[in-house]
Amino acid sequence: MVGNKALMKMKFSILFLGLAASFAFAQEEKDFPPMTPMSDVLQILQAVQAAGAAVTISELRGPDCVFTNEAEFGGGGPLRGPLYVTTMPPVPRTIYVPKNSPDTLQMIIDRAAPGDEIVVAPGTYDMGGRQINQEGTATRVVIDKPLTLRSEAGPELTIIEGGPSTRCIYMTNGVQVIGFTITGGETMKEGPEGNKFTALSGGGVWSEPGGVLVNCTVISNTALWYGGGLYGGNAVRCTFTGNTARRSGGAASGSRLGSCLVQYNRAGRFGGGTLHCELFNCTVTHNRAEQMGGGSAFGTAQNTVLHHNQTLLSDHNFYDVTMSYCCSRPKGYGPGNIDAEPGFKNTDQGVFNPMYNSALIDAGTNTFLIADLIGTVRVLDGNNNKHARADIGAYEYINPLADSDGNGIPDREEPRVKSNSFRGEHPAE
C-alpha cells in the first residue's frame, strides 16, 4: 500500500475522529476531510512502520493534546482533528537484552531493523534459532540483516552455544558480532542431503563475505566438512581454540583473519588451523592436520607466525601458502620471511606473546591493522631503535623503554583499544 520511496517525504493527512468527542469544535469541523475509521489509520501506520520507517506525528490540530510518537498514538483514546503523519528514514536503535531475557536472541534479532545495535547482557545463550535452508544443520542465531550484535561485558561472560547439528551463528553481509564466546556448534555429522559448503561447513559461524567477528573466542566447534570454527567472512582480534573440521580447515576456511590467535585446532585432511584463508598478523600454533599443512593450507599470510604445528605426513606448518613477512619453518618463499624460533613467552603453557628477545619483534611490514589481539595499538618500536615496525604475529611487543610516537608518554602507558569495538577502534579516531 505504501511504497518505500514515497515514505521519505510523504505526509498523510488523516482525519482522526474519536468516539467520545464531546468538545465544542464546530469551527474546524467544516474543514475536515471525510471521516477515517480508527482501524484504517492504524493500518496505514503499521504499513509505514513495516516498510522500515519511523513514524512521527508532526501535527495534531485538536482540542486536547499533541501526540509525539506512535506508542502514544496506539493508546491515545478519544480524539478528533486532522492528523498529519510525517514518515522519516529509520533511525538506528540500541536494543538492550537483559539478563535472563525471556526472548531468545533470535526473536530479538527478528524484531530489529537494519543498522540497529543489540547489546547483550552476560549469560549463556543456548536456546532458539532456526534453519537457514532445509539442509539439516540448524543455526542458533541467524543474523540476516546488517546489524551489530555486541556483548556488554566481553567473551568471558557472554556465550553463544550451539548444539547437536546446530551451529552457533549465521552472519550476512554488514553484520558485526563483537565480544562473544562461540562454542559447542556443529554441523550435521552425516547425511547425503547436506551441501558440503553450506550445511556441512562452519560449525561455529557461517558468514557471507562481509560479516565480521570482533573480539570473539571461538572454541570447540565442529564441522563435518570445512571451517570447524568459521566458514567465510572476517575475524578481527579473535581466538580460535580447539575447533575441528573432519575434512579441512580446523579453525577457519575461506575467511580473512586479522590479529587472531589460531591454536590447538584440528583437521582430518588439510589445514589444521586454516584453509584458503587470508591471514594478517596472526599467530598459528599447535594445530594439527592428518595430511598436509598442520598450521595452514593454501591461501596467503602476511606478518604471521606459523610454528609448532604438525601433520602425520609432511608440511607441518604450512602447505602452499603465499607468504610475506612471516615466521615459519621451513622459511616461506617471498619477501621478509624468516625461519627463526619465534621466541614465545611460554610455549608449554600456551603463552604466545613474544619474549623481549623474540625474532618476531619489529620483523613485520607495516600494516593497516590498528590493534593487536589484546588491544595494543600498532605499530610500536619493540626494539627501541627509533623505528616503529609491526611485529610478526597476533601480539605487538611493548618495549618498556620505548615511546614510539614521541609524545612523551611511554608505549606501556598509551591508551589501548577498547576490546568491544571495531570501527573507530583507534583511540584517536
155 burial class (0-12, 13-18, 19+ CB within 10 angstroms)? buried
Name the nearest CA neighbour of 367 among 276, 283, 252, 282: 282
Longest dimension (CA), the chain: 93
293 burial class (0-12, 13-18, 19+ CB within 10 angstroms)? buried
Q: How far is the CB of 327 from Ca ion (least distance, A)?
A: 13
With CB under 5 A as the contact rule, which of the stretches 114-122, 260-268, 311-319, 405-413 interacts with Ca ion? 405-413
Q: How far is the CB of 405 from Ca ion (least distance, A)?
A: 4
**Distance between CA atoms of 313 and 292, rounded to whole angstroms?**
6
Q: In 3-state terms, what secondary structure has residue 81? A: coil
Q: How far is the CB of 49 from Ca ion (least distance, A)?
A: 50
Q: Which of residues 96-115 bind Ca ion (CB under 5 A)?
A: none
Q: How far is the CB of 237 from Ca ion (least distance, A)?
A: 17
**Distance between CA atoms of 15 and 71, rounded to whole angstroms?**
18
Q: How far is the CB of 357 from Ca ion (least distance, A)?
A: 14
Q: How far is the CB of 366 from Ca ion (least distance, A)?
A: 9
Name the nearest CA neighbour of 118 among 158, 151, 149: 149
Task: Between 186 and 391, name the residue whose CB sits nearer to Ca ion.
Answer: 391
* AA letter at 102: P
With CB under 5 A as the contact rule, which of the stretches 78-86, 149-157, 169-177, 406-414 interacts with Ca ion? 406-414
Q: How far is the CB of 351 from Ca ion (least distance, A)?
A: 18
Sorted by sequence, the CB contacts under 8 Å of residue 330 that are 6+ apart come out as 317, 339
Q: How many CB atoms lie within 10 A of CB 34?
A: 6
Task: Between 300 and 404, name the residue whose CB sits nearer to Ca ion.
Answer: 404
**Distance between CA atoms of 277 and 289, rounded to whole angstroms?**
16
Task: Between 161 and 381, name the residue whose CB sits nearer to Ca ion.
Answer: 381
Task: Between 91 and 409, name the residue whose CB sits nearer to Ca ion.
Answer: 409
| Binds Ca ion (CB under 5 A): choice among 136, 403, 422, 425 | 403
| Binds Ca ion (CB under 5 A): choice among 126, 186, 315, 362 | 362
Contact letters for Ca ion, residues 374-393 (x by CB under 5 A): ------x-x--------x--
Q: Is 372 in the site for Ca ion (CB under 5 A)?
A: no
Q: Is 407 in the site for Ca ion (CB under 5 A)?
A: yes
Chain CA centroid to CA 210, Å: 10
Q: Which of residues 409-428 bind Ca ion (CB under 5 A)?
A: 409
Element (H, E) at 235: strand 234-236
Question: Phi and psi at residue 109, in whole multiples of 5°?
Answer: -65, -40
Task: Between 161 and 372, name the residue whose CB sits nearer to Ca ion.
Answer: 372
Q: How far is the CB of 359 from Ca ion (least distance, A)?
A: 12
**Distance between CA atoms of 228 and 218, rounded to whole angstroms?**
10
Task: Between 46 and 365, name the residue whose CB sits nearer to Ca ion.
Answer: 365
Contact letters for Ca ion, residues 120-149 (x by CB under 5 A): ------------------------------
Question: Phi and psi at residue 407, in whole multiples of 5°?
Answer: -95, 10
Task: Between 146 and 410, name the residue whose CB sits nearer to Ca ion.
Answer: 410
Q: Is 161 in the site for Ca ion (CB under 5 A)?
A: no
Element (H, E) at 26: helix 26-29
Task: Between 141 and 373, name the residue whose CB sits nearer to Ca ion.
Answer: 373
Q: How many CB atoms lie within 10 A of CB 47?
A: 13
With CB under 5 A as the contact rule, which of the stretches 43-51, 191-199, 277-285, 358-366 interacts with Ca ion? 358-366
Q: Which of residues 178-207 bind Ca ion (CB under 5 A)?
A: none
| Binds Ca ion (CB under 5 A): choice among 44, 336, 405, 427 | 405
Residue nearest to Ca ion (CB): 382
| Cell of residue 187, nine digits | 554441523
Name the nearest CA neighbour of 215 among 429, 418, 8: 418
Task: Between 42 and 401, name the residue whose CB sits nearer to Ca ion.
Answer: 401
Task: Between 358 and 420, name the residue whose CB sits nearer to Ca ion.
Answer: 358
**Distance between CA atoms of 321 and 331, rounded to whole angstroms?**
11
Query: Which residues of the chain form contacts with Ca ion (CB under 5 A)?
Result: 362, 380, 382, 391, 403, 405, 407, 409
